[in-house]
């Protein structure tokens, strides 16, 4: 765990206030997906967003990532310039969203393309992220040569390489088999607990209650039709954030 000054611990990292989103026209013909959503993310926490399929979770995450502009309301990402090297948000997608014609390293470097980072620095940071996430030696592999779990590791490396302060994860494990999901989740929690990822908070979308309880400090319950945060559950259980037996990994 990172130690943070009390005043910083109080500050919100992400604020979502009164967000409404319609797909299509803003009338009876349009689809109201998000209705008056409020959400806060504070430093040093993993927050779960738990809700049914089709309830608007991905839409909300994309809104926070700046990929969708909400019809109404406001999303604020409160970075702390000068204090941290971490800035902004990065997202991990359920379907990995890798480019099949690019290698692992090229996929990861893509995350930095828009940031004006020099090629040498891009290479250095991409290799560090690939190493961190356990894909050392696979830099030149193509996504089709990798298992699902490894592909999602590439997705994670591509998100981490931009050094975001907030990591948004949209059902990151739901395309994986149970054992692979468990391994990746444990590895992610290890990196988080050991402070090896430069991120300050994680917002993870899931419809898996067990996963939410195992990973999160708080769980926000999301209603459907329309999507809205209707309850907050604090998870007080000691987190089983222990490393898996290596034998389990070999499966």
Contacting positions for Mg ion (CB under 5 A)? 58
Q: Name the minimum Å distance from CB 155 to ligand ADP.
A: 17
Signed CA dihedral, 70, 56, 76, 169: sign only: negative
- From 54-62, 151-159, 183-191, 213-221, give the range in contact with ligand ADP by CB under 6 A: 54-62
Distance CA 140, CA 212 (A): 34
CB 251 within 8 A of CB 179: yes
Residue ranges with strand state E in the chain: 14-23, 31-41, 46-50, 72-77, 89-92, 166-170, 201-206, 218-223, 228-234
Task: Tell me: does residue 95 bind ligand ADP (CB under 6 A).
Answer: no
Q: Which strand (E) or helix (H) includes residue 176?
A: none
Q: Name the minimum Å distance from CB 170 to Mg ion.
A: 6
Q: Which of 20, 57, 122, 228 binds ligand ADP (CB under 6 A)?
A: 57
- Would you say 104 or 229 has its CB closer to ligand ADP? 229
Q: Which of 14, 59, 135, 181 binds ligand ADP (CB under 6 A)?
A: 59
**Residue 200: which of ligand ADP, Mg ion, none does it interact with, CB under 5 to 8 A by kind?**
none
CB 213 within 8 A of CB 236: no
Q: Name the minimum Å distance from CB 174 to ligand ADP.
A: 11
**Residue 107: which of ligand ADP, Mg ion, none does it interact with, CB under 5 to 8 A by kind?**
none
Q: For 40-75, b where at least 16 C-beta lie within 10 A, e where not — what string?
A: bbbbbebbbbbbeeebbbbbbbbbbbeebebbebeb
Task: Tell me: does residue 31 bind ligand ADP (CB under 6 A).
Answer: yes
Strands of the sheet with 72-77, listed across from one edge? 31-41, 14-23, 72-77
CB 20 within 8 A of CB 34: yes
**Residue 54: which of Mg ion, ligand ADP, none does it interact with, CB under 5 to 8 A by kind?**
ligand ADP
- Would you say 158 or 228 has its CB closer to ligand ADP? 228
- Would you say 54 or 240 has its CB closer to Mg ion? 54
Q: Interface with ligand ADP by CB under 6 A: which residues?
A: 23, 31, 33, 51, 53-59
């Amino acid at each position: 765990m990172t130690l943070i000054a009390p005043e910083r611990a109080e500050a919100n990292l992400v604020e979502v206030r009164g967000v409404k989103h319609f797909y299509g026209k803003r009338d009876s013909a349009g689809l109201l997906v998000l209705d008056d959503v409020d959400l806060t993310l504070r430093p040093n926490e993993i927050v779960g967003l738990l809700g049914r399929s089709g309830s608007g979770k991905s839409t909300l995450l994309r809104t926070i990532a700046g990929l969708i502009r909400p019809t109404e309301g406001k999303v604020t990402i409160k970075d702390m310039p000068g204090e941290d090297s971490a800035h902004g948000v990065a997202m991990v997608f359920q379907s990995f969203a890798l480019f099949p014609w690019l290698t692992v390293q090229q996929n990861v470097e893509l995350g930095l393309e828009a940031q004006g980072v020099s090629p040498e620095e891009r290479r250095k940071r991409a290799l560090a992220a690939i190493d961190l996430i356990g894909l050392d030696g696979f830099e030149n592999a193509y996504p089709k040569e990798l298992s699902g779990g490894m592909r999602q590791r590439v997705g994670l490396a591509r998100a981490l390489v931009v050094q975001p302060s907030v990591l948004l994860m949209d059902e990151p494990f739901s395309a994986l088999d149970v054992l692979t999901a468990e391994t990746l989740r444990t590895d992610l929690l290890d990196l988080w607990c050991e402070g090896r990822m430069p991120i300050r908070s994680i917002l993870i979308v899931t419809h898996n209650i067990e996963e939410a309880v195992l990973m999160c400090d708080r769980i926000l319950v999301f209603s459907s039709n329309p999507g809205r945060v209707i309850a907050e559950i604090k998870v007080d259980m000691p987190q089983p954030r222990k490393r898996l037996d290596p034998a389990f990994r070999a499966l």
